[in-house]
Each structure stands twice: as C-alpha cells, then as structure tokens.
Amino acid sequence: MTWPSLLYGLTVPWTVKMIFGQMVDSIKIFGSNRKSYVYIGAILITLSSVLMIAVVGDYVIVQGKKFIYVVASIITIVGFII
C-alpha cells in the first residue's frame, strides 16, 4: 500500500458522517444523547494532537512516524465527525 492510497482512506469517515449522525441521535451514552459524544470527540481530538506533537518533537518513543501520523489523522477526523 502506497502513501497516497493511505491518505485516501482518511476520507472514509466523511462518507459515513450520516451514520454517525443517526447514532448520536438514537444511542445514549452515559444517559445523554449529545453531551457525551461532544466529550468523546474532544478526547479523540486531544489524543490526536498529542500524537502529532510526539511525531514532530522527535521523541524516542515514536518509531513509525508515518504510521502514527496516519493514525492521528484518522483519530482527528473521527473526533471532528462525532
């Protein structure tokens, strides 16, 4: 799998945005329809930001920078969609 084809996979969550919308409206998490989803999305975006900082900061713990970058990008997109 080449690098550009991995980036095309980042558009997949945007295609299922309507499914996420229906899920938010119908499935309650922690007794709330929307509030808990906002918190989950914020946590995902924060996690992806920490991963991006780790990639840019050249920390020893980061081994595969491209892989972590793609994972952080996917987490960001899912966080924004939720």
Tens-digit pLDDT profile for residues 68-77: 888 888 898 8
pLDDT at 69: 84
Per-domain boundaries in the chain: 3-81
Distance of alpha carbon 34 from alpha carbon 1, whole angstroms: 37
pTM of structure: 0.70
pLDDT at 6: 62
